[in-house]
Structure 1
Amino acid sequence: MLELLAPAGSMEAVAAAVQNGADAVYLGYGDFNARRNAKNFSREEFAAAVSYCHVRGAKVYLTLNTLLTDRELPQAAEFAAEASSLGADAVLVQDLGVLRMVRQVAPDLPVHASTQMTIHNLDGVKMAADLGMTRAVLSRELSRDQIEYICQRSPIEIEVFAHGALCMCYSGQCFLSSVIGGRSGNRGLCAQPCRLKYGWEGKADSYPLSLKDLSLAGYLRQLRKMGVTCVKLEGRMKRPEYVAVVTGIFSRAIHEDREPTAEEINQLQAAFSRQGFTQGYYLDQQGPHMFGVREETKEPKELFALARSTYQSGEAQRVPVTFYAMLRPGEPAQVGVKDPEGRVSTAEGAVPEPARTRPLTTEAVENQLARTGGTPYRAERMRVLVEDGLSMPLSALNALRREALDGLTRQREALPSRHMGSYHVGARYENRKEPPVLTLSVRSAQQITDQLLELGPALVYVPLEELAAHPEKAKAPAGTAIGAILPRIAWDREFPQMLDNLRKVRDLGVTDVLVGNLGMVAAAKELGFTLRGDFGLEVYNAQAVKEYKKLGFSSLTLSFELKFPQIRDLSKALDVELITYGRLPLMIMENCIIKNRTGSCNCQNTNTLTDRKGARFPVVNAPGCRNELLNSQTLFLADKAADYQRLGLWAQRLMFTVEDPQTCVQVTRRYLDQEKWSPKEYTRGLYYRDVE
């Protein structure tokens, strides 16, 4: 049966989820999770939540799914160790540095790959398994045929989102909130700028980045047959009544092996929606119909009042138990209870007396034992032996039942015996003293000219498709290497073409590839390429650097959400490079907003999205007919060379996107201090700003 995983932003929401049939809840403990604005649990609250859930047969998953700095990792290690000792059933992570830390301090605690890891193909799932994870939460953009393909071949459990808010960008790859507002979605503080107005031709008059909420109510049996282990409900920022309504509807449908009724769908919509729901990604039917905004509606008071009653009035009696009782002359009365996991609790009472009038019957004893109201337990089976002619007060039987159940509860909430370790920062690597070499990345083969190559960059990264289509660009003067940029997103159905292109460029003599997703590592490795990590890997701390070194990487691009002092202090077990020029990528989107607007593919022309303040964001095509949203301002640091040359970098990268070939040359010369050019408008990015 599908596991149903519900959100819990408070202790009340835990009760709402569990009393309405959730098999597991996910919640934040401490400050290091993807919903830092939710009410995260204190130590006492977390312990109470785990106890409450375990007694009622539900699991608790801890969310530690944000990027952490080296300074934050020791405190996160304390949270992880405490959560493990308090009985958490698993932890969700995004950051490979956090994964490394968890393995040190809580080696027995299962780890799940958060959707923030952008796992969207089979190789990504296998990589998560190789890293010791037991479950992967897939990207929400995947279609059902791709989910099924992965499920049928996956070595670990697969979890998919089944209801709740949809991000416009692939989770873990969005920088819109941090770059324009200083609040990082990768650090748990997304300000949701995608829900604001944007538009085309200078007018911000629509909502082209605001998707309707996802709902796969109607496809639950299909998901189960495909091999999905767990369906996840989104909503840790939502109120407990919402959690109760949605969890209850999904739970009943799953347990009754049906889909939600029309009335239940109406209730889901009343609880929260953005002009209805969408299944566009799942059905592989994208388009304008997937978009919507939150409209002011009346609170569904009756629905929410009914929802409150489900968790404020009594118990749902979720745990089926078997009762045992034996009443024999001359022996103390015995009552036992056994739970589905085989735990047994017994109670012993007084010796039954000979009956003076009506003797006790088996049926009477069973009736008393079955009175489990007000507890989480439901009497499912009885094994009762009552010999003839005996009498015992019913109150004494009730007391034995309560004693046995109390003993079972203590067993069910007992903390697991787990190994504990300590967090080790490890060896410190000295920073490089020499200035960084210059690398370039381009979007099109046309941007690579003889003039550009004559400037002697150490490496020029070219998109794989472009390089395969323009083999002449694989040649470069001595001292300059050409590398291929792998797609950040490539579904399994796109893999054959990607592998074909990789073989082509390898045969052209290309030896380096820039990898921005874990799902592309194995293919590049098997073909013998030198692995260089791109910004999509989200390298934020020294522990992550060490993990990527173990995976065989030769260099890494550090996150552009880090500040210069953090980069300087980061211990670099590998060569690192930093993006020092370019329009930073803010979103990579499965839904083509250009086609949504015009009805046809129009990627080759310049498309510009405008926000409410008049800022203009270029929208360009990404491999696989996807969109990439670029920043409205260009990152420019040529006049700050003294700052970034002291950070211990191996390379600084100029990222060319919408520039014409001549501008590429001009910018490169400026960074080589051969001329004084600077853009009219520019930004310093986040390197000098605090990112929350």
Structure 2
Amino acid sequence: MKNIELLAPAGGKLQLEAALEAGANAVYFGLKKLNARTGAQNFAPEELAEIVSEIHRRGAKAYLTLNIDLSERDLGLAARTLGLAESCGVDAVLVRDAALLLFRPFFPKLSFHFSTQAAVSSSAGVEAAGSLGISRVVLARELNRDEIAACCGVGDVEIEVFVQGAMCFSCSGRCYLSSWVGGRSGNRGCCASPCRVKWENESGEVGNPLSMHDLCLAQHIGALGTLGVASLKIEGRLKSAAWVSRAVELYRLALDGKLTDEDLANASLELGGYAGRQMSDAFYQGTLGSLTGEGARVARPETGQETSGTEGANESVNSLSIIDDPAGGTLFNFTYQAETTQFRIPPQRIANPRRATSIVELAETLKSTLGSEDNDLEISIDPAIEDLLLPRNACNRLADQLTAFVRQSSKSSDGRVRDIALPSEVTQLLDQRKHPGCPENAKTLGMRPTLFRVSLQQAGKLIEKGPDFLARRKLIIDPKLCASSDVTGLVKSIRELGDVVHAVALPAVMYEADLKPIQAFLAELSGEVVFEINSWDTWQLAKKANAKMIAGPGMAILNSLAAKQLQQLGFAANWISPEIDQGQLEELCSRAQSPLYLTVYANIPLMQTRVEMPSGYGENHILSDGRNVRLRPVREGSVTVFRSCVPLDWTKLKNPKVRVAQLVVDLTGSDTIEPRPTSTSLFNYDRRLR
């Protein structure tokens, strides 16, 4: 198993050193901007060359995360970040946004990996990645052993699998819940982990039905190697250096055959105790239940206290250790925001003890001066010098030195990448956005929607309204296709709808068992209808069937170059992300060169999950949290979709700067074709998307 890569997280400098020291073959990390863990310490662009050089010196590889949805304003920084990464010798970048695929050919020294945020969940998605020039895919975490096996050996694309760490309740890249709650998008690295809080059903039962156990596949790494997995990935860029060290050490020893099965099991439990959650290999084993709930919180062995296990906590500690210097004098070892230094006060002669300061008094002063409510300072004093006295002027000089060090350490980079010469082709792509937009984007926000996204049952009810209603409207049909679907019956029903069909939707989430029915569905209808594509997996299947395509809400965009890339890949139109804010929306509409679709009414799918829900929290039960966010889970295809009970509604807004080809009313999450909600939401339209 020595050819399998052990890939470790590096949320900051201490975690990076811990990972390398413990034996990681590669590390993944982010810069201050544009990565999926903004809560980590991350690295300044100015540090990247030195960081990569040190990683390579230690015989490891450096992978840079650039794995978020990019807004229009992010594109220049994203391009410069690629340029910086290439110039510094970064081995690969992890990506999600289609705009970066447009840039890829112009950075030939960089390998591109699909992040788990790209939501690849089948061998078809891996095949798609290979055709896009992606050299590695990080698979969805909810796949079982056989599904992972099917993805291995597809062309020359390497497979990376998460083996340890936190798991998301929602399929990765398919969650809007944090964004819906407060504008903090998980798809842009700002997730507030609302799935970890208490939720209540309509019967008054309160629990943690959305809070996942942690993943641990330590006992399966031999099997993963046999399947052909290239890289074992440890999640944890928000974990402490101590946790990273222990996790990497465990997997290093296991890969090197130095642990018995019993030792491996015990070490895995230790990791679970440290993280504060139970360990689980259920997805890998093909089990979809008993993955959430109160069991997702356990007492840490060393404290006996329950922990929430929130991923947002940065566990680095600011500390000052005061010890006796064997060479004479006193040493002050100071760590602040992962930077470490040492100061020394030489031996002092105390002429008047009344005018001196005790070491304990000095420590209390430094704690109040250098610490704060948000950055507490832990101070330890060598018992051998607790009675030591120091002159006040020496104490004042030390305080000045430590304060200056804090100021210097706190001068954080703004995260901007500057002075990078971009390839001329990339500059041209960025400049082309200044040209006039697409003439097909002629409808402004406030006009009457004429495109409805509905289920087959809803389509039948709309047809009953008569020819006058449908004369002014077209339908996108979502048949909820999956492995158990009656393909023949679905095809017949869609054909009976006739010319009213604008497009037919393929699922956003699909797995290996869904491949054959989707292929059969495409084979029957590809010459007759346009398909709404909602994942890289179904794009590959539709492309091979020579189907006509539009990008659906499952492949929604925030920027014009993502739209351009998708257009080049065969999409006749692109769907705007519903979590976009007003400023981003206006900018996208002014620069897009392809037709755009905009959802103006919908019960947004806030989460899509493969997890089987505990009793009382499953399908058609209403769940609410302490902020009165209300969710309704409904089985749709291969997943359970959690939709907001309060719909997004932009139908009453008027904005001539928002110009699109289609304004869409999505009724697929509604029980009726004529919803009359008592309350609605603008989502992020009137606030800033983070």
Who is 1:618 aligned against? 632
Which residues of 2 match residues 40-439 of structure 1 at below 5 A? 40-104=42-106, 106-203=107-204, 205-256=206-257, 261-274=264-277, 276-291=278-293, 292-297=295-300, 299=302, 421-422=423-424, 423-424=426-427, 425-427=430-432, 428-432=435-439, 434-435=442-443, 438-439=450-451
- 1:505 positional shift: 4.2
> What's the CA shift string for 1:611-657, capped at 9, x where partnerless?
22444311111112x200001311122221x32x6422000111113
Q: Decide whether the 8 Å contact of 1:174 with 1:587 is kept in 2.
A: yes
- 1:152 positional shift: 3.0
Change (3 A) 1:261 1:563: closer
Which residues of 2 match residues 451-466 of structure 1 at below 5 A? 451-452=464-465, 454=467, 455-456=469-470, 457-463=473-479, 465=481
**For residue 557 of structure 1, what is the amino acid of its counterpart?**
W
- 1:598 positional shift: 5.8
Q: Decide whether the 8 Å contact of 1:636 with 1:682 is kept in 2.
A: yes
Q: Decide whether the 8 Å contact of 2:451 with 2:664 is kept in 1.
A: yes
Change (3 A) 1:687 1:264: same
Q: Decide whether the 8 Å contact of 1:448 with 1:473 is kept in 2.
A: no
Q: In 1, distance between residues paired with 2:108 and 2:436?
A: 26
Matched, 1:441 2:443: no
Change (3 A) 1:527 1:513: same
Q: In 2, distance between residues paired with 1:224 and 1:93?
A: 25
Who is 2:570 aligned against? 552
- 1:5 positional shift: 0.4
SS in 2 for 1:199: strand
Q: In 2, distance between residues paired with 1:653 and 1:519?
A: 24
Who is 2:601 aligned against? 581
> What's the CA shift string for 1:248-281, capped at 9, x where partnerless?
010111122765523322332233241x201111
SS in 1 for 2:268: helix
SS in 1 for 2:686: coil
Change (3 A) 1:92 1:14: same
Q: In 1, distance between residues paired with 2:171 and 2:94?
A: 17
Q: Which of these residues, 502, 512, 535, is aligned with residue 517 of structure 1?
A: 535
Unpaired runs of 5+ residues, structure 2, are: 305-315, 317-419
> What's the CA shift string for 1:142-194, capped at 9, x where partnerless?
00101011103342110000000000011111000001121000000000000
Q: In 1, distance between residues paired with 2:222 and 2:587?
A: 51
Change (3 A) 1:516 1:221: same
Q: If the length of structure 2 is used for normalisation, what is the TM-score?
A: 0.75
- 1:78 positional shift: 1.9
Q: In 2, distance between residues paired with 1:634 and 1:202?
A: 23
Change (3 A) 1:616 1:149: same
| Range with greater deviation from structure 2 (204-213 or 160-169) | 204-213
Q: Decide whether the 8 Å contact of 1:35 with 1:236 is kept in 2.
A: yes
Matched, 1:647 2:661: no
**For residue 297 of structure 1, what is the amino acid of its counterpart?**
R
SS in 2 for 1:587: strand
Q: In 2, distance between residues paired with 1:24 and 1:487?
A: 34
**For residue 130 of structure 1, what is the amino acid of its counterpart?**
S
Q: Which of these residues, 649, 666, 669, is aligned with residue 636 of structure 1?
A: 649
Which residues of 2 match residues 457-606 of structure 1 at below 5 A? 457-463=473-479, 465=481, 469-470=489-490, 471-476=492-497, 480-506=500-526, 510-570=528-588, 571-593=591-613, 596-597=614-615, 603=619, 606=620
- 1:202 positional shift: 4.9
Q: Decide whether the 8 Å contact of 2:129 with 2:137 is kept in 1.
A: yes
Q: Decide whether the 8 Å contact of 1:475 with 1:482 is kept in 2.
A: no
Q: In 2, distance between residues paired with 1:182 and 1:43?
A: 26
Q: Decide whether the 8 Å contact of 1:619 with 1:627 is kept in 2.
A: yes
**For residue 658 of structure 2, what is the amino acid of its counterpart?**
L
SS in 1 for 2:451: strand
Q: In 2, distance between residues paired with 1:474 and 1:447?
A: 12
Change (3 A) 1:183 1:204: farther
**For residue 212 of structure 1, what is the amino acid of its counterpart?**
H
Change (3 A) 1:178 1:468: farther
Change (3 A) 1:290 1:568: closer
SS in 2 for 1:112: strand
Q: Identity percentage over the alignment?
A: 30
Q: In 2, distance between residues paired with 1:160 and 1:472?
A: 40
Q: In 2, distance between residues paired with 1:591 and 1:285?
A: 9
Who is 1:14 aligned against? 16
Q: Decide whether the 8 Å contact of 2:176 with 2:605 is kept in 1.
A: yes
Change (3 A) 1:472 1:463: closer
- 1:501 positional shift: 2.8
> What's the CA shift string for 1:580-625, capped at 9, x where partnerless?
00101101101121xx3169xx75xx3322222444311111112x
> What's the CA shift string for 1:326-345, capped at 9, x where partnerless?
xxxxxxxxxxxxxxxxxxxx
Who is 2:345 aligned against? none
Who is 2:408 aligned against? none
Q: In 1, distance between residues paired with 2:554 and 2:538?
A: 12
Who is 2:677 aligned against? 679
SS in 2 for 1:620: strand
Q: In 1, distance between residues paired with 2:40 and 2:648?
A: 33
SS in 2 for 1:607: coil
SS in 2 for 1:657: coil
Q: In 2, distance between residues paired with 1:591 and 1:569?
A: 38
**For residue 577 of structure 1, what is the amino acid of its counterpart?**
Y
Q: In 2, distance between residues paired with 1:86 and 1:435?
A: 45
> What's the CA shift string for 1:269-294, capped at 9, x where partnerless?
233241x2011110001212554333
Q: In 1, distance between residues paired with 2:637 and 2:38?
A: 33
**For residue 94 of structure 1, what is the amino acid of its counterpart?**
R
SS in 2 for 1:682: coil
Bigger Rg over Cα: 1
- 1:203 positional shift: 2.8
Q: In 2, distance between residues paired with 1:468 and 1:197?
A: 43
Q: If the length of structure 1 is used for normalisation, what is the TM-score?
A: 0.75
Q: Decide whether the 8 Å contact of 2:274 with 2:300 is kept in 1.
A: no
Q: In 1, distance between residues paired with 2:519 and 2:423?
A: 41
**For residue 219 of structure 2, what is the amino acid of its counterpart?**
G
Q: Decide whether the 8 Å contact of 1:204 with 1:610 is kept in 2.
A: no
Residues paired across the two proteins, number: 550
Q: Decide whether the 8 Å contact of 2:135 with 2:157 is kept in 1.
A: yes
